[in-house]
Structure 1
Amino acid sequence: MLMSQIRNEDGSITVAVREEGEPARAVRGARSVYDLALEAANAGRVLADVVLARGLGGVVDLQAADADGRFLPPITHPDPAHLHLTGTGLTHLGSAATRDAMHAAATADETAMTDSMKMFRMGLDGGKPKPGETGVQPEWFYKGNGLQLAAPGGDLVSPAFAQDGGEEPEMAGIYVIADSGQPFRLGFAVANEFSDHITERVNYLFLAHSKLRPASFGPEIRIGLAPQDVRGTSRILRDGTVLWEKPFLSGEANMSHSFANLEYHHFKYGLFRASGDIHVHMFGTATLSFGDGVRTQAGDVFEMEAAGFGLPLRNRLVIEAETGVSVGVL
């Protein structure tokens, strides 16, 4: 089941669901995906069952909603401060050549490995623990709260001080925290974990700065499990023409960590188990246009899609105007 949210003229939300290849229909009486998810989590029910119990109404034209710019992020919180954007890196295997090179370097001289390569190797060795065991913790980063969330079709705004604004095509896990403090995963969505790769390259300790950028995901959430092997395409369009395009892989068959291990190391912190909160956690990628020498510019459109995850995710790059920052004294 694919689930999305569409903004109506009166400010209300239509929750639409569909099976891949089928028309979308409105969920009767649903005010938001958030309300449906909390209802399911607090009742210990499957989200799809909650949807079917409410019943489906008329057909929803998703293509028209996309063309009109009426897609909302497929889940939102009434208070954006209670939606958390986070992620993990060095989680994907990448190409076979890259893996072989990393193994060879590690075998030849472990003292010569960078911290990134050491972290990658740790994931290969301990990122997929057996049931009941705890695996190695991954690289982790914070991107912001719901104020940093761009709607599908909306602008990704790069701050004036940024040195780069580059896409990262990823799978994101979508979670809601029940009143009991138990995290529940709704499903997965295609996400653009937008970052500043030049700042990160200056010094790896600048990673935290490079990740404090907007992100977007959707337009649809795939409710339930993700395939073991996810195959998608990431592209950049400039003036309506494809500037760069490349396939990307995700899913546990292409990762050095299991989703369960990444989820454990995120939600082990009580801070992230506050009842009613939403978490959008991005699981990493091995495909970047920046790695191919592409420099993005204002007006570029990022487009990414993956089979089985619904409509493509598109966002336009916008550069924020220069603004001064000062701190007053009380």
Structure 2
Amino acid sequence: MTYLRLLQHRAPDGVRSVILAEGDAAHFLGGVATVRELALRAIAAGETLAQAAKACPAGAAVDIAAEFAAGRLLAPIDHEDPAHLLMTGTGLTHLGSAEGRNKMHQAAASGEHQTDSMRMFLEGLEGGKPAAGDVGQQPEWFYKGDGSQLVGPSEPFTMPSFAQDGGEEPEVAGIYIIGEDGTPYRLGLAIANEFSDHVTERHNYLWLAHSKLRQAALGPELLLGTPPESIEGTSRILRDGEVLWEKPFLSGEANMSHSLGNLEHHHFKYDLFCRPGDVHVHFFGTATLSFADGVTTQEGDVFEISAAPFALPVSNPLARAQARPVAVKAL
């Protein structure tokens, strides 16, 4: 099956454009500068995003692999005001996803006692795919940050100076925009690296919130239409140009303990997340981590995640921010 994909492009002079790709062919779209602009146009016209894209004048053909290599492709969604793009996610949503997490949190658990991680996973396995019209088990949920923390598909991950770890999480993310009447619209899917601090999380599960307040990256393509049932990809870490660690990963509903609809329900049931015009990037979780295999990353390592039917990877080197003083003044 051939999927339509939208990409965002920035030329050397700063001019923004949208690219429509189908199979190996791609071209610029006339009359539109951002995917968010095109999505709002589609909502106003009562069209799908694919219909709105195809209605745009076709511009010049473009080699998206060459533009990716040149660093001219952006994340496939953004917002002119980063505070109105929210990044959130769910964990323990994939078959096998409890194994790595459970290893981190089972020191005090044995025999008949289950960790909270395993209990949450099993509850999702039992009730995460409800029948149509029903509400299923709510998942683990976390906040990552606003649009200021969204990294482009080839930009560095800059972990905080105080971070104990910088680790990849190969995932699929749902991309959403809220219509003027408060209705959430799914624009499509993107491959993602939901970057986290697993050492901090392992120390105390209640520090999960701290471990997730990190940057995250999206691959350059927004996959339109009905999501694939199964997405198979590869996650790897390169060090000095050599493969340090590599492993396949699975996503898509066929490999998940929750349906996308159930995860979406438990996010958008909050009025807070239905503010007109806002953009949401919601990470659906993973079962594959290099940290679970004992890998310790270091500055300069490159995380590379690829998966069909996406043609391009998300590939980000690891960096560390300089320490800054935290000073709170009383007024």
TM above 0.5: yes
1:207 aligned residue: 208
Residues 129-149 of structure 1 deviation map (CA, whole Å, 9 limit, x = unaligned): 001110010000000000001
1:66 aligned residue: 68
Residues 98-123 of structure 1 deviation map (CA, whole Å, 9 limit, x = unaligned): 69x99xx9xxx985000000000110
**Which secondary structure state, in structure 1, belongs to the residue aligned with residue 207 of structure 2?**
helix
Return the alpha-carbon distance in structure 2 between the equivalents of residues 312 and 98 of structure 1. Answer: 26
Name whichever of 315-324 and 273-282 sits farther off: 315-324
1:3 aligned residue: 6
**Which secondary structure state, in structure 2, belongs to the residue aligned with residue 216 of structure 1?**
strand
1:44 aligned residue: 46
Provide the aligned C-alpha RMSD in A.
1.8
Name whichever of 305-314 and 9-18 sits farther off: 9-18
Residues 181-232 of structure 1 deviation map (CA, whole Å, 9 limit, x = unaligned): 1000011010000000000001110000000000001211111222111100
Residues 256-304 of structure 1 deviation map (CA, whole Å, 9 limit, x = unaligned): 0000000000000001000000000000000000000000000110000
Q: Are 1:140 and 2:146 an aligned pair?
A: no
**Which secondary structure state, in structure 2, belongs to the residue aligned with residue 288 of structure 1?**
coil
Q: Are 1:16 and 2:19 an aligned pair?
A: yes
Alignment of 1:62-141 (within 5 A): 62-94=64-96, 111-141=112-142
TM-score (norm 1): 0.94
Contact 1:219 1:310 in 2 (8 A): no
* Structure 1 segments (4+ residues) deviating >3 Å: none
Q: Where does the alignment leave 5 or more consecutive residues of structure 1 unmatched? A: none
Return the alpha-carbon distance in structure 2 between the equivalents of residues 164 and 65 of structure 1. Answer: 31
Supply the AA of the counterpart residue of 1:24.
A
1:250 aligned residue: 251
Return the alpha-carbon distance in structure 1 between the equivalents of residues 259 and 203 of structure 2. Answer: 30
For these two proteins, the number of residue pairs brought into alignment is: 322
Return the alpha-carbon distance in structure 1 between the equivalents of residues 162 and 82 of structure 2. Answer: 24
**Which secondary structure state, in structure 1, belongs to the residue aligned with residue 248 of structure 2?**
strand
Supply the AA of the counterpart residue of 2:237.
I
Q: Where does the alignment leave 5 or more consecutive residues of structure 2 unmatched? A: none
2:59 aligned residue: 57
1:157 aligned residue: 158
Supply the AA of the counterpart residue of 2:199.
I
Return the alpha-carbon distance in structure 2 between the equivalents of residues 111 and 250 of structure 1. Answer: 30
Return the alpha-carbon distance in structure 2 between the equivalents of residues 140 and 235 of structure 1. Answer: 26
Q: Are 1:282 and 2:283 an aligned pair?
A: yes
Q: Are 1:30 and 2:28 an aligned pair?
A: no
Contact 1:196 1:210 in 2 (8 A): yes
Alignment of 1:224-263 (within 5 A): 224-263=225-264
Shift of 1:64: 2.4
Q: Are 1:273 and 2:264 an aligned pair?
A: no
**Which secondary structure state, in structure 2, belongs to the residue aligned with residue 275 of structure 1?**
coil
Shift of 1:55: 2.5
1:302 aligned residue: 303
Return the alpha-carbon distance in structure 1 between the equivalents of residues 111 and 259 of structure 2. Answer: 25
TM-score (norm 2): 0.94
Identity rate of aligned residues, in percent? Answer: 58
Shift of 1:41: 2.1
Return the alpha-carbon distance in structure 1 between the equivalents of residues 157 and 183 of structure 2. Answer: 32
Residues 12-61 of structure 1 deviation map (CA, whole Å, 9 limit, x = unaligned): 211011112x2210011111111001111233211111111112111122
Contact 1:42 1:179 in 2 (8 A): no
Supply the AA of the counterpart residue of 1:185.
R
Return the alpha-carbon distance in structure 2 between the equivalents of residues 289 and 55 of structure 1. Answer: 44
Alpha carbons of structure 1 residues 148 and 57: separation in structure 2 relative to 1, 3 Å: same
Return the alpha-carbon distance in structure 1 between the equivalents of residues 68 and 245 of structure 2. Answer: 23
**Which secondary structure state, in structure 2, belongs to the residue aligned with residue 81 of structure 1?**
helix
